[in-house]
Chain A
Amino acid sequence: MRTIAIAIAILGTSLGALAQEGELDAMRGHVPLLEERTPEPLYNVENNDLRRIRAYPMQPPTIPHKIDNYQVDLNANRCMSCHSRQRVGDTQAPMISVTHYMDRDGNFLAELSPRRYFCNQCHVPQTDAPLAVENRFVDVAEILRQRRETQE
């Protein structure tokens, strides 16, 4: 009798937790786990080929074009078929920076360094999706300008 009561209690709390989890999961948009939610619309990928400025000097530049189904794996690197040193003459794409030809000891290699091979680890295309969280980032140039203004 006691075991049954304990079992029911455990089941009750876990079910409650399950339901609560479904409520709290913001990624699913507050839809219970057992219900299927209507997916968000897909947003358009920026494809205007215009370079964005970098938010800070070391920022990896964003990709101003679509990269749907670009193959980057052991066999082929679609990005490098335009952006590699040898290819930019034909394609007029910006060449990847010299740091991508350096290994971690600073030696220059003939080819793209293996640690830089997967472009999407740093470079990403942009979409017109609304911001999911507020962004309070301020460009350092803007901070300096404000500083100058207050000092004057």
Chain B
Amino acid sequence: MIKRIKTLFSVFWRVFHSPSGYFSLGFLTVGGFIGGVLFWGGFNTAMEATNTERFCISCHEMRANVYEEIQPTIHFTNRSGVRAVCSDCHVPHDWTDKIARKMQASKEVWGKIFGTINTREKFLEHRLEMASREWRRFEANDSLECRNCHDEGAMDFTRQSSRAAAAHRRGLIDGDATCITCHKGIAHELPDMAGVEGWE
């Protein structure tokens, strides 16, 4: 029995070591191409699956806290029926940045396994830390995820209320503010803002 396995393995290794000695170049090229497509497609599909709202709220930490909170906000319920799901704001759309964010997110798996925020109390305790991380990320990438939909070049200030138009002109066009500088807590509840800049 062991002998048979050994022979089988040695045959496999011989072919695997130098496949060009056993298969035609055409077969290897086409086979490699098809294999590559399958692998890439599978990888991307799996990654896209982790970008869906269903995936995010499959954990109670997200469903019971942040998902509950977004529901009355304009990004969830509005007159035109456009909805931003979790990944629209929290995952970069650009492929390289997306992969980088997904690698960072592996730490969130750690948190899930060890129950870092598995109760409402723990969640609220960590809220400022988690929110600050997102604010820093948005400050650093100039609110890229907001701008995927809300482009200041496409904004008609005359259609905004005069207060909004003035604030946007002052902060966004003339100043160095980015969306998140003013629009904190637009989709979720805010943590204790004592000490946060702009919330004195």
Contacts and interface: CB of A to CB of B under 8 A. Distances in A.
Contacts of B199: 76-77, 80-81
Nearest to B181: A90
Interface string A47-86: 1110000000000000001101101001111101100101
Interface in B49-87: 72-74
Contacts, number: 43
A48 B165 CA distance: 12
A75 B200 contact: no
Interface in B174-200: 185, 189-193, 198-200
A69 B188 CA distance: 10
B200 A86 contact: yes
Contacts of B191: 75-76
B96 interface: no
**Dominant SS at the A interface?**
loop
A75 B166 contact: no
A75 B189 contact: yes
A34 to B, nearest CB: 29
Contacts of A87: 198, 200
Interface residues of A, number: 21
Contact of B161 (A49, A86, A92): A49
Given A65-B161, A78-B185, A92 B166 contact: yes
Given A81-B199, A87-B198, 8 more contacts: A69-B73, A69-B74, A74-B192, A76-B193, A76-B199, A81-B198, A87-B200, A92-B170
21 contacts: A48-B162, A49-B161, A49-B162, A49-B163, A69-B72, A69-B73, A71-B190, A75-B191, A75-B192, A76-B185, A76-B190, A76-B192, A76-B199, A77-B193, A77-B199, A80-B199, A81-B199, A86-B200, A87-B198, A91-B167, A92-B166
Interface of A: 47-49, 65-66, 68-69, 71, 74-78, 80-81, 84, 86-87, 90-92
